[in-house]
Structure 1
Amino acid sequence: MKPVCSYAATHATSLADPAGFWLAQARHLAWHRPPTGALSQDEANGAHRWFADGTLNTSYLCLDHHVAQGRGPQAALIFDSPVTQTLSTYTYAQLLNLTARFAGGLRKLGVEMGDRVIIYMPNLPEAVIAMLACARLGAIHSVVFGGFAPHELAVRIDDAQPKIIVCASGGMEFDRIIPYKPLVDEAIEKAKHKPAHVVVHQRRFVTAEMQSGRDIEFFKMYWNEPVPAVPVPATHPLYILYTSGTTGRPKGVVRDHGGHAVALRFSMEAIYDLDPGDVIFTGSDIGWAVGSSYIVYGPLLRGCTSVLFEGKPVRTPDAGTFWRLVAQHRVNVLFTAPTAIRAIKKEDPEGLLAKNYDLRSLRHLFLAGERCDPATFAWSQQVLGVPVVDHWWQTESGWPMLATLVGLAAMGPPRAGSAGFPVPGFDVQVLDEAGQPVPAGTTGLVAVRLPLPPGCFPALWQDEARYRAYHDVFPGYYLSGDGGYRDADGYCYIMGRTDDVINVAGHRLSTGEMEEILAAHPAVAECAVLGIADALRGQVPVGLVVLKDGQTVGEGPLERELVAAVRARIGALACFRQVLVVQRLPKTRSGKILRKTLRQLADGEAFALPATIDDPRILDEIRADLQRRGVGQAFEPGPPA
C-alpha cells in the first residue's frame, strides 16, 4: 500500500476546518441518519460535541455492516490462548449471531438503552461479545481490568451503578489460576449499589459458585432470539472506562458512539495503514483504552481481523510467543507496550527466538502505554527488521494524539525517543507555566488546543467538576498532565507525568491512593510514594514512611504489612514491593512534601535545589537511605531535553 495523502496537508486541513474535515470522514460510515453538521457545543457546560444530529450504532458498524458487504465468512476475531491451549476463530457472521443473541439475553434481564453493564473478564471472545451486545442495545458498558482488587471493583460499581455484571469464573496465568467470581461477590458485598444479576462465563479450569436467583450462566444468554441494533444519537455514551485520578478516586472516562467510530476508523487507515481484511495483533487488555480501541472497536470498524491473546509476552511458554502469533496468524501490525518488549528482551537479549518464525507479514511495530526508551526502540527494530513507531495517547483521548502516521505520505521516519508528530485533529502545544508556547527544545506542559477532535472524551461520568479541571488551567486547551518538548524538526517527545499518577507497565496508578493506604497503618506518621524509573515496567512505586514516635516495629515486618495492604486494596499490578523507613521527608516551608525532587533523587537525575525547601540536609539523609536499600536506577539516556 502506498499512501497518497500528504501528512502536512491533512493535518493543516483538519485544524483550519475541523467541522468540514471530520464531516467528510464521517461519510465513510453507515449511519442510520447521517449528520448534517459536525461540531457543536453543549449548552449546559460548553463542551464540544460531534455529529449531534446523526444516529448510528457501533455494534451495527462493527458487525452487521460488514456482513451486508459480503464479509460474513471473513475472520473477525482469532482467539489465541496458550495458557489454556485454546485456538478459535470467529467470522463476522458468527460474531454477529452470538452478539445479537447475547443482546437478546440482556434485554430479557431488563437492560435497555442508557443502562450500565460492568464487564469483569480477561481477554476472552465472550468479553468482546458482551461489549458489542451492550453497544447493540445502547447500554453503556464498563470493562474493568481483571487484576483489580474487590475494593476497586466496588468503587466502580457504586460509581457506574450497573444493572448487570458480566464476569468469568476465573483467569489463568502461566503459573496460577485466579478465581474471579469470589472477587466479584466480595465487591458486590462491599458496594452500596447491588446489581440485579451477575452473568458468569464458567471456564473449564475453575467453576464459580452461583447464587440462586441472581447469577446466570453465560451460555444460556445465547438461547435468546437475536435482536437488531438500536439506533442511538451520535452523542450517546458507548462506554465508561475508569482511569486513575490524582485524588485516588477513579475517573470514569466517557466515550460516545459517533465521534468514537469516526475517529477510530480514520486512525486504522491513516495511522496504522490497515485495510479491510488485514490482521492486527494488539498485545494489551480489553480493560485498557488500548485494548478497547485496538483489539475490539478499531479493527472491527475497519473490517480487519483482530487477534485476541490471553497470556503474557514471556513464559507462555517463552519469550517468542509474540513472534509465534505474528507468524501463525499472518499479522500485519503488532501493537503493544514497551514494557512487553523489555520483558522479551530481558529473557532473550539477542532476539534469537525471532529467528524461529517467518515474520514477513509484519509491516510495523507500534508501541504505546509509556515512553519507549531509545535502547528498546533500537533493539525492536534490529530484531524485527520493520519500522518501530512509538506513539502517545491517553485514556481520555481514546486514540493517538502523536504518531508517525504510516498511512499518510511525506512523513519523517520514526525517531528514537520521540512519539512523532501531532495526529490530524490534534493541535498539540508545549506551554510554560503561564500558558505560553515554549521554544523548540524546551521542556514544558503538553496541552492540546480546543476543540478536541472526535473520539476524545466528551465528559467524565457524573463528574462535571473534574472534567472542567482538564480545561480550567489554560482556557482553550486540554491539559494532558504530561511534560515534554518539540525538537527543531517538529518531532515531539513525551517525558512523563507532571502529577502523581505513575505508569506501571501501562497501568496508570495513583500514588496518592497508595499513600492513603500507607498512612492508615498505626505505626506510620507520614509518607510519600514515588514512581521511580524501572527498566522493565517504566515506573515502579516505592514508599518512604516516617514512623510515629515510640514505634519500634522493624523495617522488614512493616514493609511486608504495607505491601500486603496495597496489594489487597489495589492489586498485584501496582508492583508495590519496597518501603523504606526514613527519619523525615523533605518539605517546603509551607509543609508540602517535595515528591518531584525525591523522584529525581531516586532516579539519579540532576535537579535544582528548591528554593522553598525547609532543610536541604534531609536530601542527603534520603540519598543514604536509598543507597542502603539499593533503590533507584535511571533509564539509559534519551534525547536531550
Structure 2
Amino acid sequence: MSTNYAEFHRRSIEDREGFWGEQAQLIDWHKPFDQVCDYTNPPFAKWFAGGETNLCHNAVDRHLAARADQNALIFVSTETNTEKAYSYRELHAEVQRMAAIYQSLGVKKGDRVLIYMPMIAEAAFAMLACVRIGAIHSVVFGGFASHSLASRIDDAQPTVIVSADAGMRGGKSVPYKHLLDEAINLSAHKPAKVLMVNRGLADYAKVDGRDVDYAEQRALQMDTVVPCVWVESTHPSYILYTSGTTGKPKGVQRDTAGYTVALAASMKHIYMGNPGETYFSTSDIGWVVGHSYIIYGPLINGMATIMYEGLPTRPDAGIWWSLVEKYKVTVMFSAPTAARVLKKQDPAYLTKYDLSSLKALFLAGEPLDEPTATWIGGALNKPIIDNYWQTETGWPIMAICNGVEPAPTKFGSPGKAVYGYDVQLIDETTGEEITEPNKKGVIAVNGPLPPGCLQTVWGDDKRYVSTYWTSIHNKVMYSTFDWGVKDADGYFFILGRTDDVINVAGHRLGTREIEESISSHANVAEVAVVGVADQLKGQVAVAFAVLKDPSKITNVADAKALEAET
C-alpha cells in the first residue's frame, strides 16, 4: 500500500528524528545510536551519534545466513572475455583475504588506502576490505593522469596504494603502473607499499621493497579470518575526490552509518530493488555512482550486482541487454550519454533479448534530452527514470520515489525533491526563496543535509564551509551550484552550472584541474579550457594552448604527438 509522497517528504524534514530513526532499522547495528542527528555545530551534521556499525558487515556478512550461495558480485569483462560470479560466501572469503593482506602491510583503522584500478573484481574486494577493518579508501578513476593522481596521493596520504598492471578499453591495453610510478615520484607523500594485481596485460617495473604482488600475498591468506572492526557512526568510510573551480580537488568525506542507512533506504524507496534480484549499473567505481550503486547499495540490499569492464558496443550493441537477459536484471542504472551511443546502433539489438525481468532504467549524471528519453523508453517499453545528485550527496537529491508513491515522469525533469532534502530555489541576488513556478534560481538545500551526504572536505573543514555553505546571500544553505526551475507540480528542471565545472558524459570535470595538467607539459606556456556543447556527451572540454616554442609543431603529426603527451 503506497504512502502519500508529499506527506512522506514533509515528515522527513519536520520529524527527522522519527523518520530517520525508522529508516535506520534497515541496517544492522553493533551498538544502538543515542541520537538520530546531532546538529549542534551547523553545518556539520553527526548522524546516528553514539552508534556503532560496519559497512562491510551490512553489505556482505549479514547476508550469509540467508543467501550465502546467492550471486553477490558478477564480474563481466568483454575486453578480456572474462565472466565470473561470486556468491556472498565467496565474496566474504575474498574480502577477508584482501583485508588480511592490508593488515600484513600495516594498514589499521583510520589509515587511508588509495585504489587506482580498472573495473575488475579485485577493486571491489579492495573497497570492501577497507571498510571491513575501518580503513578509509580513496578510489581514483583508472587512467587519470599522473599529475592528477599525485595531488590525490598528497591529500589522502595513503599507507598503501592498490593498483593493476593495466585496464582494457576497446580491445587496447591501458597501462596504469607507469602513471602510478610517475605520480608517486611527483607526490611529496610516499606510500609504504604498493599492492599490484597483475592481469598479464602489460609489463611493468617492480620497485623493490615497495611493490608487492597480490596473487602471492593472497596465497598466504587463503584461510585467514578477519572480523569486522566495529566503528562509530561518524567514522569516515571513504574519500572521493570531485572537481572544483580551483586546481586542488576536493576530497568528499563520507561517514559510515549515515551512508549505509541512506543507501538502504534509497534501494527501497527510489530504485525498488529486492533482495535476491540483480542490479546493473554501467558506471565505474572511480565515480560516485560506482561507489553507491555498483558496490554498496545493491549489496546492502542483498542483491547481486554486475561489475562491467568494457564498452556498450563491444562485441556489439546488444551486450548490455544480453546481460539483462542472462542474469534477470531488474534494475538498471546508466547515463544519457550511453543511451545516445546505443541509439546510433541497430535497434534490433533491443528486441533480440528477453528483457521482461527489467522493471526500470534509471539515468543520471547529466540532463536527459527528450529525443533520447523517447527513443529508449519506446524501445524498452519500460519506465525511464531520471535522477539528479552529486558526488557530494552520495545518493539522489531529486528523483521519482516510486517505492513510496508511483508518480509520472516529465521530460527533462529528474523529478521532485527526495525525502530528507529540504530543497529550495534561491534568488541569486536577494537570497530569498523563489516560490513562483518556472522562475530560474540556484538549487540549494537547507541544513542539515540528510544522512549519506558529505561530512566535510577531507582535512579541510574551513573549505567545506566556505565552498558549500557561504554562497547564498545572507543564508547558511548548501549550494549545488546548479541553476534550476520548479514547475507548479513540484518537478525540478536543471539548467546548468553556476561555476566553471563542465559535465562530460555525466562526469564533472574542473576546468582548472585540466588546465594545470596540460600546462605541466614542458612546451605549454599558457592554456585555457572551456566546455563546448556536444551532441553525444553533452559537453566536451576544449583546450586553447599557447606554446613556448611553436616551431616544434610543424605538421599534423607533431600536433597529435603533443596532444597525446598532455
TM-score above 0.5: yes
What is the one-letter code of the residue matched to 1:418? S
**Contact 1:139/1:238 (8 A) holds in 2:** yes
> 2:489 aligns to what SS in structure 1?
coil
Where do 5+ consecutive residues of structure 2 fail to align?
none
What is the one-letter code of the residue matched to 2:469? H
**Contact 2:521/2:565 (8 A) holds in 1:** no
| Aligned residue number for residue 499 of structure 2 | 499
What is the one-letter code of the residue matched to 1:482? D
> 1:9 aligns to what SS in structure 2?
helix
Distance 1:25 1:493 in 2: 28
Distance 1:141 1:185 in 2: 19
Q: Pick the aligned partner of 1:203 from 191, 199, 203.
A: 199
> 2:389 aligns to what SS in structure 1?
coil
Tell me if 1:93 matches 2:89: yes
Distance 1:559 1:514 in 2: 23
| Aligned residue number for residue 279 of structure 2 | 280
Q: Pick the aligned partner of 1:367 from 357, 363, 380.
A: 363
Query: 1:180 and 1:520, CA in 2 relative to 1: closer, same or farther beyond 3 A?
Result: closer
> 2:338 aligns to what SS in structure 1?
helix
**Contact 1:202/1:218 (8 A) holds in 2:** yes
Tell me if 1:416 matches 2:407: no
**Contact 1:421/1:491 (8 A) holds in 2:** yes
> 2:237 aligns to what SS in structure 1?
strand
**Contact 2:161/2:193 (8 A) holds in 1:** yes
Question: CA offset at residue 4 of structure 1?
Answer: 2.2
- Greater radius of gyration (CA): 1
What is the one-letter code of the residue matched to 1:342? R
Tell me if 1:319 matches 2:317: yes
**Contact 1:523/1:553 (8 A) holds in 2:** no
Tell me if 1:160 matches 2:156: yes
Q: Pick the aligned partner of 1:67 from 52, 64, 76.
A: 64
Question: CA offset at residue 147 of structure 1?
Answer: 2.1
Q: Pick the aligned partner of 1:455 from 452, 468, 475.
A: 452
Distance 2:504 2:318 in 1: 23
| Aligned residue number for residue 36 of structure 1 | 34
What is the one-letter code of the residue matched to 2:184? I
Question: CA offset at residue 567 of structure 1?
Answer: 5.6
Tell me if 1:437 matches 2:424: no
> 1:275 aligns to what SS in structure 2?
coil
Deviations 1:422-445 (A, max 9, x none): 110011111111221222111111
Tell me if 1:47 matches 2:44: yes
| Aligned residue number for residue 134 of structure 1 | 130
Question: CA offset at residue 476 of structure 1?
Answer: 3.0
Distance 2:126 2:185 in 1: 23
Tell me if 1:466 matches 2:437: no
Tell me if 1:116 matches 2:115: no
Query: 1:172 and 1:524, CA in 2 relative to 1: closer, same or farther beyond 3 A?
Result: closer
Could you state the TM-score of these two structures normalised by the residue count of structure 1? 0.83
| Aligned residue number for residue 21 of structure 1 | 19
Deviations 1:64-95 (A, max 9, x none): 11113x11111101111111111111011111
**Contact 2:24/2:261 (8 A) holds in 1:** yes
Query: 1:554 and 1:416, CA in 2 relative to 1: closer, same or farther beyond 3 A?
Result: farther
Question: CA offset at residue 482 of structure 1?
Answer: 0.8
Distance 2:24 2:393 in 1: 18
For residues 160-559 of structure 1, the aligned pairs below 5 Å read: 160-222=156-218, 223-224=220-221, 225-314=224-313, 316-348=314-346, 351-409=347-405, 411-433=406-428, 434-438=430-434, 439-469=436-466, 470-474=468-472, 475-516=475-516, 528-544=528-544
**Contact 1:440/1:488 (8 A) holds in 2:** yes
**Contact 1:22/1:38 (8 A) holds in 2:** yes
**Contact 1:338/1:371 (8 A) holds in 2:** yes
Question: CA offset at residue 521 of structure 1?
Answer: 7.9
**Contact 1:102/1:226 (8 A) holds in 2:** no
> 1:246 aligns to what SS in structure 2?
coil
Query: 1:566 and 1:390, CA in 2 relative to 1: closer, same or farther beyond 3 A?
Result: farther
> 1:419 aligns to what SS in structure 2?
coil
> 1:107 aligns to what SS in structure 2?
helix
When structure 1 is superposed on structure 2, of 25-34 and 513-522 the one drifting more is 513-522
Query: 1:526 and 1:79, CA in 2 relative to 1: closer, same or farther beyond 3 A?
Result: closer
Where do 5+ consecutive residues of structure 1 fail to align?
570-641
Question: CA offset at residue 524 of structure 1?
Answer: 7.8
Question: CA offset at residue 347 of structure 1?
Answer: 2.9
Could you state the TM-score of these two structures normalised by the residue count of structure 2? 0.94
Structure number with higher strand proportion: 2
Query: 1:413 and 1:109, CA in 2 relative to 1: closer, same or farther beyond 3 A?
Result: same
Question: CA offset at residue 514 of structure 1?
Answer: 3.3
Question: CA offset at residue 137 of structure 1?
Answer: 0.7
What is the one-letter code of the residue matched to 2:29? W
> 2:86 aligns to what SS in structure 1?
strand
Deviations 1:356-386 (A, max 9, x none): 1111111100001111111111111011110
What is the one-letter code of the residue matched to 2:359? R
> 2:246 aligns to what SS in structure 1?
coil
Question: CA offset at residue 221 of structure 1?
Answer: 3.4
**Contact 1:517/1:566 (8 A) holds in 2:** no
What is the one-letter code of the residue matched to 1:21? F
When structure 1 is superposed on structure 2, of 524-533 and 479-488 the one drifting more is 524-533
Query: 1:535 and 1:517, CA in 2 relative to 1: closer, same or farther beyond 3 A?
Result: same
What is the one-letter code of the residue matched to 1:432? D
When structure 1 is superposed on structure 2, of 213-222 and 269-278 the one drifting more is 213-222
Distance 1:163 1:546 in 2: 39
What is the one-letter code of the residue matched to 2:117? M
Distance 1:168 1:522 in 2: 28
Deviations 1:45-74 (A, max 9, x none): 751110120000101111111113x11111
Question: CA offset at residue 151 of structure 1?
Answer: 1.1
When structure 1 is superposed on structure 2, of 154-163 and 168-177 the one drifting more is 168-177
| Aligned residue number for residue 596 of structure 1 | none
> 1:332 aligns to what SS in structure 2?
strand
Distance 1:545 1:99 in 2: 46
Question: CA offset at residue 5 of structure 1?
Answer: 2.7
Distance 2:557 2:521 in 1: 11
Question: CA offset at residue 219 of structure 1?
Answer: 2.2
Query: 1:86 and 1:446, CA in 2 relative to 1: closer, same or farther beyond 3 A?
Result: same
Question: CA offset at residue 466 of structure 1?
Answer: 2.0
> 2:162 aligns to what SS in structure 1?
strand
**Contact 1:103/1:226 (8 A) holds in 2:** no
| Pairs aligned (count) | 558
Distance 1:306 1:48 in 2: 31
**Contact 1:271/1:406 (8 A) holds in 2:** yes
**Contact 1:275/1:303 (8 A) holds in 2:** yes
Deviations 1:120-168 (A, max 9, x none): 1111111101101110110000111002011111111111000001111
Percent same amino acid at aligned positions?
47
Aligned CA-pair RMSD: 2.2
**Contact 1:242/1:252 (8 A) holds in 2:** yes
For residues 565-576 of structure 1, the aligned pairs below 5 Å read: 568=565
> 1:26 aligns to what SS in structure 2?
helix
Question: CA offset at residue 185 of structure 1?
Answer: 1.3
Distance 1:157 1:91 in 2: 33
Distance 1:240 1:522 in 2: 32
Distance 1:287 1:524 in 2: 29
**Contact 1:149/1:568 (8 A) holds in 2:** no
Distance 1:523 1:200 in 2: 33
| Aligned residue number for residue 604 of structure 1 | none
**Contact 1:123/1:310 (8 A) holds in 2:** yes
Distance 2:213 2:383 in 1: 45
Query: Larger relative CO (CA 8 A, sep 6+): 1 or 2?
Result: 2
> 1:347 aligns to what SS in structure 2?
coil
